[in-house]
Structure 1
Amino acid sequence: MSRFDEVTAVSPRNGGALALLGSRRFGPLFATQFLSAFNDNALKNALVLMIAYRAEAAGALSAGLLIPLAGGLFILPFFLCSASAGALADMSDKARLVRIIKLIEIAVMIVAAAAVIAGSAMLLLGLLFVMGIQAAFFGPIKYAILPDLLTPEELLLGNALVEAGTFLAILFGTIAGMLIATGNGEISVAALIVAVALAAWGVSLAIPPIRPAASPARFEWNFAAITARAIGQATERPAPFRAMLGISWFWLAGALYLSQFPTYVRFVLGSEEAVVTLFLAVFSVGVGAGSLLCNRLLRGRVSAGIVPWGMLGLALFSIDLCLASPNASAGAALTTIGGFLAQPASWRILADLFGIAASGGVFIVPLYTLLQTGSDEARRAQTIGANNIINAAAMVLSAVLTMALVAAGISVPGLFLLTGVASLGVAALFWRIAPSLAAGSPQFEARKA
């Protein structure tokens, strides 16, 4: 089968996002990645709440140790496995590989469901590492397969929908994980994660088969060597590598915001936990809205022209969020979500938060598309794998820098200000290099012609 035989005449100009979501070429892949992201975050949040509020689940170890450990265990496989995952995806039918990964996920979620019911945080920590391995192998596929399934005019919209869907899945999954705090919450979470895993595997069966991009080769178990080689190969092509660095800056800034929401809401705004969920909702919807706005502005064209403007928006809204923030609240009584929304100043904060997220969507979607089109077709998944390694490193760096700045006495609004000022420099850099990012791969340009 030809790699592009499955592409039909559906065009975003004729049907838009709904038509693409309803097509066999894209709909099953979108649903699979949405359900997978949902399950990852539902289980992670359930584990965090179990550790934080149930001393018997955590055992002798403190929540302050186990919660960061949970995040580290999930992200570690991205360093270890992303390069190998990309190489495997390039020499395999990516659709078949997705089905195998999702089938394994069912078994993992059945064991996780038993661990949730039993209240075993230690077993869930181990399973979180296994889930990280699955996510590391699935990550290169979901972006590398898009140019195989979509026409050049659909690729930007496809990336926008994937990005929007991912952040909405994070939101819904996080909320679903909170079920564990309700009556019989363990049963609800256990049943939900198994049902979603079954659904993800079921819809993955409809993803069209894709001819391997590269010749079969022996799978390398030396993860360190193949990771170093993947990073080295990524630096050989300036345009895709610069796109990777831009994507990594987005994740660095995004990780800072997401990690600081609870502290900001509790100690700066003096509000209850429901406002944290509201912040996450606004941020997720903002990224989705910005992603779709980017496709509308560019009208499906693969271009870097809008990228610097997206980063400029993120910078300015970050600076204004700092300026809009009140002095740290020392009051014992926490404001309810209704009380928070009743304050006019709160709407400026929410508008800034939405602007940051929407600008991030405008910034990141063209970069993912340029990364795909600027990569060698036979090594596209490996390039995406290298990008995932750099993204993971950026998120770790974000955590380290945040801890160092907080230890130095920088407030949360101060962190937002520093992020905004640094993003001004990133925007200026991308204005300078934007023309060099626009060059697509010869294979993609030939298809478009």
Structure 2
Amino acid sequence: MVNSGIRWSPTRMARIQNILARLRNAAKAPSPYHALRWHTLRRQDLKAGKRILICGAGIAGPTLGFWLHQYGYSVVIAEKAKAIRDGGQNVDIKGPGQDVIRRMGLAEQILAKNTQEQGQKYLDANGRLIAALPIGSIGSLTSDFEILRGDFANILYEATRASCEYRFGCYVSALKQADEHVEVAFNDGSVEQFELVVCADGIASSTRQMVLSEHTHFHDFGAYMAFFKIPRRPEDDGWAWSINGIGGTMITLRPGTTAETTVLVTFPKTAVRVEPSGTAESKAVLREALLGRGTVAERILAGMDQVRDLYFGPMCQVKVSTWSQGRVVLLGDAGYCPTAFTGQGTVLSLVGAYVLAGEIKQHEQVADAFAAYEQRLRPLVEQTQAQMSARLVTLLHVKSRAGIALMRVLQRLIASSPVQRLGKWLAGRAKQTATPFQLPDYP
């Protein structure tokens, strides 16, 4: 059922079985889609033949394609890469994101690819344990839905490959908007017309730059992030390892596949003398950030030349004053990336895709659909992005030995039983008074 080769504990197995039971029960509940099936088919007939172009085949794009197909649209998904990208880090699917995958019928497939992460351990630079936060602890990185981004992307691709037209090695080179369509020129020289164009091609979206560059702002937190994979070792025990290093370098290792461990390295930009350009320069900067940071860092450095899936870039958020212009609209990281450091980007992509498809279905006018999508989703996006600040990033990336020693005291304190009991009690109280985001129904 799972792919990491680690035996599940009875407690973890019980948690997974409870989740599956809840999902099965929810799936059996009366659905507004079933009750209004004739009406839904009738609306699909009214909209038959409308073509929508989605730029990007990551998480947001295929999720949107899934729902648009349900509503009777013809969907083309253009992806610059030659195939679905199987790299990337562990992603958490939380809150309303779980509701979206349940409605898509993909929950059991995702659970079957669970990385089986047992929780989070804080280690010193030489791998000695400081504190441990098992799954379910307050402050732990680990959630019940932990999956590698590449595995998740492949699940979404398999769920949509028969209903959406995928074009790999394909991207938009120019856009020209008209009253009733968008004329799209592709990199192969072909030109086609689409009713709508959705930019879901990530934080560095090239299609966003064609139409909304003057509305786009990157909120930089003054740090770099690097994601990649290294060979798994016998001592990799199924826990996430987090290490604070001298100079502000933070290292996190997490379970990947039976053969690989995923790595996240973050460090302040102040440690970099020259802005890196290209993979070779990025690796050189990364080596400098890891040099002299202990045995865990040495392990990473030893395999740096073999790394082929490196993502390196600034830790930043995407903030766009308006998410659409004419018949072009932004989705996911292209419109509202919260940074991978929040662990919420996947949730916003899933929920954003579901809401955008639903509002397109509900409204006859494009402007009304896009306005309703932004009005419904922007509060959730702003709330999520507010979880991260430059000050918090600075506090987490302590540079001095004294700062690291203080951080270890805090880590032990957070993991202690009294603080965990207090934290869970406060979380329960907050949950009772909070108003969580509720997915709308689109009959």
Shorter-normalised TM range: under 0.3
Length-normalised TM-score, structure 1: 0.25
Report 1 or 2 for greater relative contact order, CA contacts < 8 Å, sequence distance ≥ 6.
1
Length-normalised TM-score, structure 2: 0.26
More strand by share: 2
